Structure 1
Amino acid sequence: MKANEVKLLGLLQGPRQFTIPIYQRPYSWSREECQKLFDDILLVGKDAARPSYFMGSVVYYQESAHAIGTIPASLVIDGQQRLTTVLLLLTAVARFLHNNEEPLQDTSSAEIRGLYLTNLYKQGELAQRLLLTKRDKATLISVVNGNPLPESNSERVRENFEFFQEQVAAANVADLWAGISKLMVVGVSLEAGVDNPQLIFESLNSTGKPLDQSDLIRNYVLMGQAKPVQDDLYKRYWYPMEASFGDDYASMFSEYMRDFLTVKLAKLINIYTVYQTFKNEYATGRVSEGNVEALAKELYQNARYYVRLRQPEKEEHQELREALEQLRAFGVTVAYPYLIDAYAACEQGKLTKAQLAEVVRMIERYVVRRSICEIPTNTLNSTFATFARDLDQEDYFNSVKEQFLELGYNRRFPLDEEFRNRFVERDAYHARRTRDYLLSHLANYEQKEHVNIGNYTVEHIMPQNENVSEAWQAELGPEWEDVHSRYLHTIGNLTLTGYNSELSDRPFAEKKTMAGGFLTSPIKLNQSVASEPVWNKQAILKRANLLADWAIAIWPAPEVVTAVVVSNEEVDEQQEEDALAEAGLLEEIQNLDE
């Protein structure tokens, strides 16, 4: 490894070509970063007493030999963003000089193009001083050559070049060129077979703005491979995986790898240690030439499943798509690690798509029932982390049902009696997320024309007002205080209406018969209210049990032929919470109760 502090223009000068490896992330500097660089260069250009401006390092593999007629190639390990931005600025300066009769005495547009932007006397890509990847590549070539931009162009390259074009002017071009001439970098040239690029890459990433987990993992898998292998793996597996995630690739890929490693290693993974866990515990020995394709293919295949979990609209099977949409609506992200395995089982023919849809619905029912029964959520992540481990691969679907019913006490799938009792008795109003989810499903139970809960508000049939009116005291009976205290926020006393302010604290008879009242309401939830002559404890419990019947039908428990014994295992909940907190997951699952 050779490191020297050099002028950036000197590093660019001469017949050479810097190439960005396919595994590097795209050009990503923002306009704000370009503005800061432009202002700094202008400032140092105006200051005659300041000899230089340090930009950082450029780390690259320098070919020791090259074929006659070609250009020495330098594979950039670190420094893409700086090199690209300076080339865009140089191109804007050269364009200005050419269009304004070459106003500088010490340089010209032809010199800038011939010395720093292109390789003279070469054709095609060999003529380019810097080759980027994917859309960035074609856009930068068009910008440098002054050609029309490709239809599908790189927004960052295009917008940053346009920004520099707007900034370069007759009043500042001389100072700007003086500042560019003072730019300094540490040029680090690596020797093939001697220097370890991955270790150097990680060391560089430990300072400054860190790379995403996605960048680190991609570089780890691809960096050590020969270039033809890199190109092949990237084209067949990595780029299709990136494209499937879309604009959310960087953030979603880290979450995907956390969930992928969770199910593969059967333990909770902290999202901030995804790269180290992948490198040290999963990919060890799998990035060698003979094994790396299997690893890249595995990551690609499982990413396809994960994208459908996160973006159900990409799932073609209607029943499965609808089940995934329901799961997403309730926010059950804790199940994604296991569902990666379930999707893989479906791909392998162990499940049909219809059965996979039923597995997804079982998960929804499991989480909904536990939420209603107020069972602590701190075991959910670890439950789904290990759920796939003990399934019978020969009878996958039935094994899922049996395993749900065999879960230990604190992990249990609440059965109908427990579910009904808590459904009727609990405060349903203040668990807002669960409440809205429940009311939406209950309002649409066995209905073809669905009600959008967002168009309505939650109504307390027996009013919330602490100062209970005499009319309501008479309605509730002699024990009105106890009834009001115990049943005010229970599901039996809650409904939906578009006339909340009009209903207000009116007596029950008025709430039924007034315009917009329960008798004329088109919402199914209000039919059982309208049929009651009085609204008291008995009416509330009667309606609550009716709604419980609906809820049991909407979120049924699994049914299996074999007898199941539910274990009474005791789970150390504090230990679970400590593990979740360490993995950074406790807050995520607590959101299910909000």
Structure 2
Amino acid sequence: MKATETKLLGLLEGRQQFTIPIYQRPYSWTLDECQRLLHDIRQVGQDDTRPTYFIGSVVYFEEEAHAIGTIRNFLVIDGQQRLTTMVLLLKALANYLAQHGEPLQSDTTSEELTDTYLTNRLKQGDLLQRLLLTKRDKETLIAVVNGNPLPSQKSERVAANFALFEREVAGDVATLWEGIKKLMVVSVALQSGVDNPQLIFESLNSTGRPLDQSDLIRNYVLMGQLKPVQDALYDGYWYPMEAAFGDAYSSMFGEFMRDFLTMKLGSTVNIWTVYQTFKTDYAAGRVQAEQVEGLVKELYYHATYYVRLRQPEKEEHAGLRDALKQLRNLEIGVAYPYLLSAYAASAAGQMSKEGLVEVVQMIEAYLMRRAVCALPTNTLSNTFASFGRQLNGDDYLASVKARFLSLGWARRFPKDEEFRRSFIERNSYHFGKRKFLLSNLENYGRKERVNVSEYTLEHIMPQNKNLSEAWQRELGDDWVTVHDEYLHTIGNLTLTGYNSEMSDRPFAEKKALEGGFVGSPIRLNKLVATATQWNLDAILHRADALADIAVKIWPVPTTDEPVITIDDVEEELVEENESIED
């Protein structure tokens, strides 16, 4: 390793090319970061007392020996964000000079900037470029440097930052150029076969912009491979995986790996330890040339399942798409590790897509019933982490049902009696997702669904503690108790588009006014509209009717398979032993 302090412009000079390897993350600097760099460059450009300004390091190694007169190629391990940003800024300067004919110095023209820092004159194709980015950004940067129209599938970051620089350079070209000439970097040249790029790459995670889990994992898997293997794995699996995630790749990939590893290891994995867990507990011994393709292929296929879990719109099967949208609306991600396993089982032919729909609906029912019954949520992560490892593949769907029914008391799937009682009596504010619940009750059996987001929650018996005399008479002698205990229960809640008009009006007026309960198109208001008085009996009668619907929407699974209920202590011991054996 050889480290030297050098001017950034000096690093870019010469017949050479800096290439960003395919295992590096895409260009990711934001407009804010570019603005801060411009601010710093202007300040140092105006300050005659500051001869230099340090902006970081560039770590690279030469890919292979080169013949005299050919282009030297350097693979960049760290520094692509700075290099790319400076190439964009220099190109913006060159464009300004070309348009306005104002050389910065007697020998610093647009052509001089381009030939010295941006391109390798007289070369063609990729060799013309002084900097080559990875697949997602490469064509956009080439178009910018060559002055060509941007591609239809352009890199948004490259395009946006270049547009910013083109606007900004017009302010004070001379000051910017003086500042750029003072920029310094630590140039770290690694020796091929001597220095370990992987260890250096990992150590860089503690400085500068933190590396994502996706950056570290991609690097670990691909960096040690021969270039033909790298290219084949990246083009065949890794890039399609990035494309499947789309714009959510950088944020969602770490979550995918957490849930993937949780599924594979049978115990929950912390999002902050994903890379280390992947490296030491899962991928160790699998990154050799003979095994690495199987590893990357496995990640790719599970990533395509995960994308559909998180973005159901991408699922082609209509029933499964709807079921996954329902689960997403619950905003409970603890089931994703098991659902990855279920998706894989369906892809392997262990059950149909219709069977997978049933599994998703069972999970929704399980989560909803537990929420309504106020059962603890701290068991859910471990329940779903190991769920797929305890199923019989001979009849997968029946095994899922039997597994749900065998869960111990703390993890139980609440039966109808318990569910109905809590559904009717509990304060619905404690359920969470009341709009989700009311939406499902309203749309049960409908072919044309009602979009409840257009409606607001309405308390039929008003929330106002100072109830009017009309409402006191409506509720009867025990009106204080009824109001205290049943105000927020499901029997007293509905949906309306006329919340402000109804306000605290007496019940008869709420029914009869324009847009009131009698004329409402909302099914949830049918029983309200036919009630002659709104008191405890009416609230309980409606709650009981809604409970009849709820047990149908979120049913307990049934199966002919033998079900052996394991108590919670035994269950924890079983899961602990399974983890040890694996």
**Is 1:409–1:570's contact at 8 Å kept on the other side of the alignment?**
no
| Structure 1 residue runs without a partner (length 5+) | 574-594
Q: Which residue type is aligned with residue 116 of structure 1? A: Y
In structure 1, distance between residues paired with 2:241 and 2:133: 20
Aligned residue number for residue 343 of structure 1: 343
Aligned residue number for residue 309 of structure 2: 309
Q: CA deviation at 1:551?
A: 0.7
Partner SS state of residue 210, structure 1: coil
Q: Give matches, 1:60-79, under 5 Å.
A: 60-63=60-63, 65-67=65-67, 70-79=70-79
**Is 1:372–1:419's contact at 8 Å kept on the other side of the alignment?**
yes
Going from structure 1 to structure 2, the CA distance change for 1:86 and 1:402 (only over 3 Å counts) comes to same
**Is 2:371–2:432's contact at 8 Å kept on the other side of the alignment?**
no
Aligned residue number for residue 23 of structure 1: 23
**Is 1:332–1:364's contact at 8 Å kept on the other side of the alignment?**
no
Going from structure 1 to structure 2, the CA distance change for 1:421 and 1:190 (only over 3 Å counts) comes to same
In structure 1, distance between residues paired with 2:496 and 2:344: 44
Pairing 1:216–2:220 present: no
Pairing 1:387–2:387 present: yes
Q: CA RMSD in A?
A: 2.4
Going from structure 1 to structure 2, the CA distance change for 1:119 and 1:529 (only over 3 Å counts) comes to closer
Pairing 1:423–2:423 present: yes
Aligned residue number for residue 490 of structure 1: 489
Q: Give matches, 1:185-204, under 5 Å.
A: 185-204=185-204
Q: Which moved more, 1:384-393 or 1:159-168?
A: 159-168
In structure 1, distance between residues paired with 2:538 and 2:49: 88
Aligned residue number for residue 130 of structure 2: 129
Q: Which residue type is aligned with residue 320 of structure 1? A: L
Q: Which residue type is aligned with residue 108 of structure 2? A: T
Aligned residue number for residue 404 of structure 1: 404
Q: CA deviation at 1:298?
A: 0.7
Q: CA deviation at 1:180?
A: 2.5
Q: Which residue type is aligned with residue 434 of structure 2? A: R
Q: Which moved more, 1:554-563 or 1:64-73?
A: 64-73
Aligned residue number for residue 117 of structure 1: 118
**Is 1:136–1:154's contact at 8 Å kept on the other side of the alignment?**
yes
In structure 1, distance between residues paired with 2:326 and 2:110: 60
Q: Which residue type is aligned with residue 246 of structure 1? A: G
Partner SS state of residue 378, structure 1: coil
Q: CA deviation at 1:504?
A: 3.9
**Is 1:29–1:156's contact at 8 Å kept on the other side of the alignment?**
yes
Going from structure 1 to structure 2, the CA distance change for 1:342 and 1:518 (only over 3 Å counts) comes to same
Aligned residue number for residue 456 of structure 1: 455
Q: CA deviation at 1:204?
A: 1.6
Q: Which moved more, 1:415-424 or 1:37-46?
A: 37-46
Aligned residue number for residue 582 of structure 1: none
Q: Give matches, 1:290-369, under 5 Å.
A: 290-369=290-369
Q: Which moved more, 1:506-515 or 1:291-300?
A: 506-515
Q: CA deviation at 1:571?
A: 9.6
Q: CA deviation at 1:24?
A: 1.2
Q: Which residue type is aligned with residue 163 of structure 1? A: L
Aligned residue number for residue 586 of structure 1: none
In structure 2, distance between residues paired with 1:101 and 1:503: 71
Q: Which residue type is aligned with residue 411 of structure 2? A: R
**Is 2:4–2:188's contact at 8 Å kept on the other side of the alignment?**
yes
Q: CA deviation at 1:397?
A: 0.6
Aligned residue number for residue 583 of structure 1: none
In structure 2, distance between residues paired with 1:134 and 1:471: 71
Q: Which residue type is aligned with residue 443 of structure 2? A: N
Q: Give matches, 1:238-249, under 5 Å.
A: 238-249=238-249
In structure 1, distance between residues paired with 2:306 and 2:438: 29
Q: CA deviation at 1:509?
A: 4.0
Q: CA deviation at 1:368?
A: 0.5
Aligned residue number for residue 590 of structure 1: none
In structure 1, distance between residues paired with 2:162 and 2:126: 20
Aligned residue number for residue 259 of structure 2: 259
**Is 1:371–1:434's contact at 8 Å kept on the other side of the alignment?**
no
**Is 2:15–2:70's contact at 8 Å kept on the other side of the alignment?**
no
Going from structure 1 to structure 2, the CA distance change for 1:484 and 1:113 (only over 3 Å counts) comes to closer
Q: CA deviation at 1:570?
A: 5.4
Aligned residue number for residue 591 of structure 1: none
Q: Which moved more, 1:335-344 or 1:67-76?
A: 67-76
Q: CA deviation at 1:492?
A: 1.9
| Structure 2 residue runs without a partner (length 5+) | 573-582
Aligned residue number for residue 55 of structure 1: 55
Q: Which moved more, 1:243-252 or 1:274-283?
A: 274-283
Deviation by residue 1:171-216 (Cα, 9 ceiling, x = unmatched) = 8444433333322211111112211111101112211221111111
**Is 2:426–2:489's contact at 8 Å kept on the other side of the alignment?**
yes
Q: Give matches, 1:10-49, under 5 Å.
A: 10-49=10-49
Going from structure 1 to structure 2, the CA distance change for 1:17 and 1:419 (only over 3 Å counts) comes to same
**Is 1:30–1:156's contact at 8 Å kept on the other side of the alignment?**
yes
Q: Which residue type is aligned with residue 445 of structure 1? A: Y
Q: Which residue type is aligned with residue 395 of structure 1? A: D
Deviation by residue 1:513-548 (Cα, 9 ceiling, x = unmatched) = 444443333222222233333333333222221111
Q: CA deviation at 1:234?
A: 0.7
**Is 1:410–1:571's contact at 8 Å kept on the other side of the alignment?**
no
Partner SS state of residue 518, structure 1: coil
In structure 1, distance between residues paired with 2:500 and 2:47: 69
Q: Which residue type is aligned with residue 75 of structure 2? A: L
Aligned residue number for residue 550 of structure 1: 549
Q: Which residue type is aligned with residue 29 of structure 1? A: W
How many residue pairs get matched? 572
In structure 1, distance between residues paired with 2:476 and 2:104: 95
Q: Which residue type is aligned with residue 536 of structure 2? A: K
- TM-score normalised by length of structure 2: 0.92
Q: Which moved more, 1:248-257 or 1:178-187?
A: 178-187
Aligned residue number for residue 159 of structure 2: 158
Aligned residue number for residue 89 of structure 1: 89
In structure 2, distance between residues paired with 1:465 and 1:44: 64
**Is 2:59–2:79's contact at 8 Å kept on the other side of the alignment?**
yes
Deviation by residue 1:476-518 (Cα, 9 ceiling, x = unmatched) = 4444443333323222222223333444444444444444443
Partner SS state of residue 433, structure 2: helix
Partner SS state of residue 143, structure 1: helix
Calculate percent identity across the aligned residue pairs.
Answer: 64
**Is 1:320–1:356's contact at 8 Å kept on the other side of the alignment?**
yes
Deviation by residue 1:149-179 (Cα, 9 ceiling, x = unmatched) = 333333332333333333335x844443333
Q: CA deviation at 1:568?
A: 4.2
**Is 2:398–2:561's contact at 8 Å kept on the other side of the alignment?**
no
Partner SS state of residue 520, structure 1: coil
Q: Which moved more, 1:53-62 or 1:559-568?
A: 559-568
Aligned residue number for residue 520 of structure 1: 519
Q: Which residue type is aligned with residue 270 of structure 1? A: N
Q: Which residue type is aligned with residue 433 of structure 2? A: T
Q: CA deviation at 1:410?
A: 0.8
Deviation by residue 1:98-136 (Cα, 9 ceiling, x = unmatched) = 441535124343433333222233222222211112242
Q: CA deviation at 1:91?
A: 2.4
Q: CA deviation at 1:80?
A: 0.8
Q: Give matches, 1:465-504, under 5 Å.
A: 465-504=464-503
Going from structure 1 to structure 2, the CA distance change for 1:32 and 1:479 (only over 3 Å counts) comes to closer
In structure 2, distance between residues paired with 1:147 and 1:417: 70
Aligned residue number for residue 183 of structure 1: 183
In structure 2, distance between residues paired with 1:426 and 1:200: 57
